Amino acid sequence: MEIYDTHSRPELQIVTLIFICVIRLTALRRLKICCENLIFTPTAFDGSPMPSQPLVQTLQMLTPAMREVVERMAAAKLPALYTLDAAAAKAAYAKTADVLDVPKAKLARVEDFTLVARDGYAIPARLYADSRDGNLPALLYCHGGGFTTGGIFSHDGVCREIARQSGAAVVSIDYRLAPEWRFPAAVHDAWDALETLARNGHRYGIDPARLAIGGDSTGGTLAAASAIHARDIGIVLALQVLIYPSTAAYQDTDSHQRFAEGPVLDKPLIDWFFAQYIDWKDRADWRFAPLNAEDVEGVAPAWIGLAECDPLVDEGVQYADKLRAAGVPVDLEIYRGMIHDFITLGRVIPQARQLHSAVAAALRKAFMG
């Protein structure tokens, strides 16, 4: 075998250098493509996007279908909501909120009306029911969106599906949003809507003796606070449905550390949402942080559904533990490989459809009792 001494052969030195440069450039291009597919945080030495190690670990935890959704979201290169002003953030959220939701079920009744709040404000509401029975049990539903975005429109498909599968009516409300309406406006709207249905449900074909309260994310916060309020004023609820609720005053749990970079719901977005809604000095109030409620004994039984890869998962578990310690029956489900807000991804995520069915089954069981 002939051995070449590149030190004595200048032409070979040049060829070798060119070869090394080609290899390095090819590697950098592959690294860039890989990073773009994995998405997110800028740290790569060649200036291309590169995910941090915690985010890489989170992406590896996701189901393949969920990972694909996250990658497509990143590829869309939409501005983060927290980089926008509140009006622009509301509009941006509205454009994409139900893109991947289940097809809208056709129901026997879909009716818009208003419920009067304590200050005379007309709270927009929409009733969904797959029956014209005039005495249906009902779930009052509070949408998620960080107290700042979302509305009846963003959870229309979800509410239709729960109504279709449960046989109950679902009443979704447009409670007032931040920053125009800060804490506790949203809480009061949820309470006033619940009290109206408990007093006058027959006007809407609803049985006031068979009511439940529910919501997702910050809507879950409103539902948990409403369940405590209902107990305090003597309204008996059949169930509280809490879907990855925010329950803590401060975001300092382990899961907030693990999933601080998301995907989708990350620390900057959580901080931005809460800054729109509530003053720091008020954050220990149990109406914002149900974990701080002094006593939850005697509140409605709970069905709690959480996402494994969600900053809020730990505080959801903590609230389930608090309820159980007070003797409240709790059914807790943690959906593996899921991220925050997956309930609205039913068109492509099977676990979202499973969650719809689980909520419907829990309602049927609660109302039968």
Burial class (CB in 10 A: 0-12, 13-18, 19+), 34: middle
Instruction: Assign 193 to helix, strand or coil.
Output: helix
Rg (CA), the chain: 25
Instruction: Tell me 118's DSSP state.
Output: T
Determine the Cα–Cα distance for residues 281 and 235; give it in Å rounded to an integer.
Answer: 30
Which DSSP string corresponds to 13-57? HHHHHHHHHHHHHHHHHHHHHHHHHH---B--TTSSB---HHHHH
Catalytic residues: 217, 310, 340
Q: How far apart are CA 152 and CA 142, in angstroms?
A: 9
What are the tokens at 282? Answer: 């008020």
Contact of 134 with 108, CB cutoff 8 Å: no
**302-309 and 239-243: which strand pairing?**
parallel
Minimal CA–CA distance to 356: which of 160, 143, 111? 160
CA-to-CA distance for 268 and 141, rounded, in angstroms?
27
**What is the Cβ-side half-sphere exposure of residue 129, based on CA atoms within 13 angstroms?**
21
CA-to-CA dists, residue 299 to 128, 147, 238, 330, 343, angstroms: 26, 23, 10, 11, 25
Query: What does DSSP say about strands 109-116 and 122-129: parallel, antiparallel, or unpaired?
Result: antiparallel
Task: Enter the tokens of residue 98.
Answer: 């139900």
